[in-house]
């Protein structure tokens, strides 16, 4: 039987009036925004130019924040990008907690760091999706190295849906590691940073957030959620006037994961100069820690493409992505 609002006992008229009111109000907002667009664009340009000028002056004449002696925890630091970030941090004089699940790689990374840079370092076998293990990790790191003031949420599961859709198990793991893991690790380590009123959290997201393509399906969604998470965290920190900083890093394809490189070849994506080495990207993390950048896209042009295309209706924005998707091999 077809259910209408009357036979479900709902007052249809009142509901329609409410919907109309909401729509009329939002249309007024849209008209206001369209009329005010030239002003909005001018203000936005001035704000961007001001920010660029401040960055330029700071980098030319200012002193960047030193991070030597800080305790940095890097998730997924046994291999891949996390290892490169851990090494770059150790090079800056940070003590490093090397976190991941594969002991062999964790031990190798921490041994390399200890021998090469002479900083304090230790390997911790921890699954970032396990809250209990993360709480124990916090206790252990404070005892072994000190309070963590730099947290790099790098651990991630990447799956490009090139040939097949990810299985239910892979979907769950991607969401768990990329999103739940980042949230839980942040929740456990942030309170101490707030108490000390210093610290910096860097969340490694991905440039896939700018291009919602079917091949990035769930992966891109988890990374977009990480961007949201970082922005909401920044707002919270400013609201409570905390000195703790949060950065979202959104890199293009990396050379750090063989599987991704092979998938790209299979799909016909030729990233060329957009494919970045882990040690190069690690320097962006160092820059973010020195200068407190909020969002970093690599290459930075992607951020602008997204900002400028946002004024188009969704069907136009998605048209170019549909064309791009059609050119990719299945
Ligand atoms: N590769 C790219 O093209 C690319 C592009 C943009 C962004 N990213 C992002 O960059 C980050 C690093 O990627 P990558 O290229 O270095 O990939 P990767 O080599 O696969 O590294 C992933 C890391 O995550 C760790 N990890 C996975 N599950 C974990 C868990 N449950 N608990 C703790 N650690 C876990 C792994 O450590 P164990 O093996 O020890 O568990 C590994 O070190 C990811 O967040 C990824 O999304 C990658």
Task: Report how far residue 70's alpha carbon sits from residue 152's, in angstroms, rounded to the nearest whole number.
Answer: 13
Which ranges of 240-313 would DSSP assign to H, the alpha helix?
258-267, 278-291, 301-309
Distance 11 CA to ligand 1 centre (A): 52
Rounded-to-5 percentages of helix, strand, coil across the chain? 60, 10, 30
Substitution candidate for ligand 1 out of 98, 100, 252 with most atoms within 8 A of CB: 100
Note the residue count of the chain: 330
pLDDT in tens, 22-69: 888 888 888 888 888 888 888 888 988 888 888 788 777 777 778 999
- Ligand 1 centroid vs 18 CA: distance in angstroms? 47
Average of per-residue pLDDT across 173-197? 98
Residue 239, Cβ density class (10 Å: 0-12 exposed, 13-18 middle, ≥19 buried): exposed
3-state secondary structure of 158: coil
Q: What is the pLDDT of residue 5?
A: 56
**Mean pLDDT comparison of 42-51, 84-93, 162-171, 313-322, highest-scoring range:** 84-93
Question: What pLDDT score does 250 carry?
Answer: 97
The number of C-alpha atoms within 13 Å of 130 and in the hemisphere containing its C-beta is 10
Three-state secondary-structure class, residue 152: strand
Q: How confident is the model at residue 1 (pLDDT cuts 50, 70, 90)?
A: very low
Choose one of 78, 81, 123, 223 to mutate for the ligand 1 pocket test, by most ligand atoms within 8 angstroms of C-beta: 81
* Per-position b or e across 108-135, b if 16+ CB within 10 A of its CB: bbbebbeeebebbbbbbebbbbbeebbe
pLDDT at 163 exceeding the cut of 70: no
Return d(Cα 293, Cα 282) in angstroms, integer. 14
Distance from Cα 156 to the centre of ligand 1, integer Å: 4
Which of 284, 277, 248, 285 is closest to 80 using CA atoms?
Answer: 277
Distance CA 183, CA 202 (A): 12
Q: Report the distance separating Cα 77 and Cα 58, nearest Å.
A: 31
CA–CA gap between residue 281 and residue 254 (Å, rounded): 9
Q: What is the pLDDT of residue 304?
A: 86
- CA nearest ligand 1 atom 30, residue: 127
CA-nearest residue for atom 5, ligand 1, is 253
Residue 239 banded pLDDT, cuts 50, 70, 90: very high
Distance 122 CA to ligand 1 centre (A): 19
- Report the pLDDT averaged over residues 161-181: 90
Cis peptide before 186 (omega within 30 of 0): no
What domains lie within the chain, and their CATH numbers? 71-328 (3.40.50.720)
Residues 249 and 230: their CA atoms lie apart, in Å, by 10
Q: What is the pLDDT of residues 136-157, one digit of tens each?
A: 999 999 999 999 999 999 999 9
Q: Which of 198, 102, 184, 206 lies closest to 150 in space, CA to CA?
A: 198
Ligand 1 atom at shortest distance from the alpha carbon of 254: 3
Q: Which residues line ligand 1 (CB under 6 A)?
A: 75-76, 78-82, 100-102, 105, 127-129, 154-158, 177, 204, 206, 251, 253-254, 256-257, 260
The mean per-residue pLDDT over the stretch 262-272 comes to: 76
pLDDT of residue 324: 82
Q: How confident is the model at residue 247 (pLDDT cuts 50, 70, 90)?
A: very high
């Amino acid at each position: 039987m077809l259910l209408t609002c009357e036979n479900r006992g709902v007052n249809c008229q009142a509901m329609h009036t409410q919907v109309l009111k909401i729509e009329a109000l939002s249309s007024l907002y849209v008209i206001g925004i369209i009329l005010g667009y030239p002003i909005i664009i001018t203000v936005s340009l001035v704000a961007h130019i001001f920010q660029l000028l401040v960055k330029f002056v700071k980098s030319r004449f200012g002193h960047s924040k030193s991070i030597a002696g800080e305790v940095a925890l890097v998730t997924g630091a046994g291999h891949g990008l996390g290892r490169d970030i851990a090494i770059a941090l150790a090079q800056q004089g940070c003590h490093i907690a090397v976190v991941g699940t594969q002991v062999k790689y964790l031990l190798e990374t921490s041994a390399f760091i200890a021998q090469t840079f002479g900083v304090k370092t230790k390997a911790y076998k921890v699954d970032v999706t396990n809250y209990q293990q993360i709480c124990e990790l916090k206790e252990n790191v404070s005892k072994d190295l000190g309070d963590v003031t730099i947290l790099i949420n790098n651990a991630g599961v990447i799956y490009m849906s090139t040939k097949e859709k990810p299985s239910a198990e892979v979907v769950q793991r991607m969401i768990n590691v990329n999103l739940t893991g980042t949230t839980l690790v942040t929740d456990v380590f942030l309170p101490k940073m707030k108490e000390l009123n210093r610290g910096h959290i860097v969340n490694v997201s991905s440039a896939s957030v700018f291009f919602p393509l079917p091949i990035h399906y769930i992966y891109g969604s988890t990374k977009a959620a990480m961007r949201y998470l970082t922005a909401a965290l920044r707002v919270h920190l400013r609201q409570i006037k905390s000195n703790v900083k949060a950065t979202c890093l959104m890199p293009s394809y990396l050379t750090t994961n063989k599987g991704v490189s092979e998938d790209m070849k299979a799909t016909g994506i030729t990233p060329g100069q957009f494919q970045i080495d882990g040690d190069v990207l690690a320097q962006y993390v160092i820059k973010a820690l020195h200068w407190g950048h909020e969002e970093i896209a690599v290459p930075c042009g992607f951020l602008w493409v997204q900002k400028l295309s946002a004024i188009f209706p969704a069907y136009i924005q998605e048209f170019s992505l549909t064309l791009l998707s059609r050119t990719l091999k299945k």
